[in-house]
């Protein structure tokens, strides 16, 4: 046996996983349907989120149906337990939601067809079976709707469609306070834009920096470390799409990379380490979107929401009438579709996706029109999947020949890797965010 490599980490309390490369491939992840939760087109399901405190509840943004909560104690038989109706906040539809601790944040206001006000509501789910609204806030204009809400610290960031980015102080959950509004320039990437197609949609926030999908306006990076005076510091739109329809819908962050759902153009991997010089690292473009200006109308897929498993290096994409695509992003320069669920022949289409442990949640919308995709069923489909890397978190693994000291992790950790072939060491914090990744071949 060769000398053991020792890696000393001064990173505080950690969750650590050792993962053998090439174990179980994404192709064999065995996606299986578990149960359907049907809805009605009059209460269309937009998206959903498993309780982030690992309690057995599912929160559903039910548009006209409000916020709907299901008990998932019995996975094969979800049980309705509560609804917050839209009458609780001026009949504004629930379009999206996020969670921080015991609070849900709802993006409220329809942006389909007859638009409504842009707004946000806070719901206390300390007891998920008895939720209640603590406060809500809206703009005055009745012409925007809301696409997303993300929170960080004492602030909520509302993607308010044509009203741009709105920053709200949520330090007092019973008294939401407006901080600022930022509407990015419309004249990028096209000099003669159609304002109706440029909307603040998907979003991620990290350390006060907002990564905003501005729909036909590309990706914008906005420095909101001073929430009263946000300022754009970077922008990007793929030049291959100049003169064509484009829609930057949603994104997730992974280190220095942004993984961006670009509708009928699949997924772009962007290096955002320097906001002033964003570069394209990789592009998954299965439908050859740039080949014809009419492709948006006939594309087999339209990517929208994403869920990212950094330990498994997997992206889950809702893809319209193609339902779900799973991408391997272990090499971000070449993102590759490695699994899927559903397909174009089933006459239904997805809008949202989220994951929790070995569960995948897909939301389907009603759409009677043939474009961008028809869909005659709405609700949530719950799926399960298997992959070896799932066992890497959140527990601490110690496979044969892999040694940790001290066993009680505090400020310093020594990792010993023996002659184990190609191995990868992944260090995550308690939120599952990767702090360090080390790969080597111990021959």
In sequence order, the 6+-apart residues with CB closer than 8 A to the CB of 400 are none
Q: Would you say the pTM of this structure is higher than 0.85?
A: no
| Full pLDDT tens readout for the chain, 443 residues | 333 343 434 333 333 333 333 334 688 889 999 999 999 999 999 999 999 999 999 999 999 999 999 999 998 999 999 999 999 999 999 999 999 999 999 999 999 887 899 999 999 999 999 999 999 999 998 889 999 999 999 999 999 999 999 999 999 999 999 999 999 999 999 988 889 899 999 999 999 999 999 999 999 999 999 999 999 999 999 999 999 999 999 999 999 999 999 999 999 999 999 999 999 999 999 999 999 889 999 999 999 999 999 988 999 999 999 999 999 999 999 999 999 999 999 999 999 999 999 999 999 999 998 888 889 999 999 999 987 776 544 433 334 344 444 434 444 555 555 444 455 565 654 444 456 666 555 44
34 exposed, middle or buried (CB, 10 Å; 0-12, 13-18, 19+)? middle
Report which of 144, 140, 69 is spatially closest to residue 104, judged by C-alpha positions: 69
Query: CATH number of 32-391: 3.30.420.40, 3.90.380.10, 2.130.10.10, 2.60.120.1440?
Result: 2.130.10.10
Question: Residue 57 in contact with residue 116, Cβ under 8 Å?
Answer: no
Residue 383: CB atoms within 10 A of its CB come to 21
Strands (E), 72-161: 79-84, 94-100, 103-108, 119-124, 132-138, 148-152, 155-159
Distance CA 317, CA 203 (A): 15
Instruction: Using DSSP, state whether 316 is helix, strand or coil.
Output: strand
* Domain limits, the chain: 5-21+399-442, 32-391
């Amino acid at each position: 046996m060769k000398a053991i490599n020792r890696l000393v980490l001064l990173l505080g309390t950690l969750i650590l996983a050792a993962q053998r490369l090439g174990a179980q491939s994404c192709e064999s992840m065995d996606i299986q349907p578990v149960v359907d939760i049907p809805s009605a087109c009059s209460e269309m399901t937009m998206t959903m989120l498993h309780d982030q405190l690992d309690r057995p509840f599912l929160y559903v943004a039910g548009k006209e149906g409000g916020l709907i909560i299901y008990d998932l104690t019995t996975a094969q038989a979800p049980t309705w337990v509560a609804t917050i109706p839209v009458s609780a906040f001026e009949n504004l539809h629930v379009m999206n939601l996020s969670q921080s601790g015991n609070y849900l944040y709802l993006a409220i206001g329809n942006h389909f067809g007859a638009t409504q006000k842009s707004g946000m509501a806070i719901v206390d789910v300390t007891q998920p079976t008895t939720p209640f609204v603590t406060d809500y806030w809206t703009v005055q204009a009745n012409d925007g709707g809301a696409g997303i809400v993300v929170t960080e610290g004492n602030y909520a960031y509302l993607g308010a469609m044509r009203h741009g980015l709105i920053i709200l102080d949520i330090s007092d959950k019973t008294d939401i306070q407006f901080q600022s509004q930022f509407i990015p320039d419309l004249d990028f990437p096209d000099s003669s834009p159609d304002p109706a197609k440029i909307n603040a949609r998907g979003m991620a926030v990290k350390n006060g920096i907002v990564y905003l999908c501005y729909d036909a306006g590309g990706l914008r990076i906005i420095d909101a470390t001073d929430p009263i005076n946000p300022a754009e510091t970077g922008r990007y739109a793929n030049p291959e799409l100049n003169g064509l329809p484009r829609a930057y819908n949603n994104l997730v962050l992974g280190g220095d990379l942004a993984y961006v759902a670009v509708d009928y153009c699949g997924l772009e991997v962007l290096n955002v380490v320097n906001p002033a010089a964003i570069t394209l690292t990789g592009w998954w473009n299965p439908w050859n979107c740039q080949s014809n200006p009419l492709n948006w109308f006939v594309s087999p897929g339209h990517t929208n929401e994403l869920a990212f498993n950094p330990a498994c290096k997997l992206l889950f994409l809702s893809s319209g009438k193609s339902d779900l695509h799973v991408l391997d992003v272990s090499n971000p320069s070449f993102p590759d579709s490695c699994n899927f669920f559903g397909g174009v022949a089933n006459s239904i289409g997805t809008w949202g996706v989220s994951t929790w442990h070995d569960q995948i949640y897909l939301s389907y919308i009603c759409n009677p029109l043939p474009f961008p995709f028809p869909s005659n069923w709405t609700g949530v489909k719950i799926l399960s999947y298997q992959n070896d890397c799932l066992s890497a978190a959140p527990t601490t693994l110690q496979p044969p020949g892999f040694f940790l000291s001290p066993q009680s992790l505090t400020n310093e950790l020594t990792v010993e890797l023996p002659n184990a072939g190609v191995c990868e060491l992944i260090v995550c914090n308690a939120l599952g965010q990767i702090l360090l990744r080390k790969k080597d071949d111990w021959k």
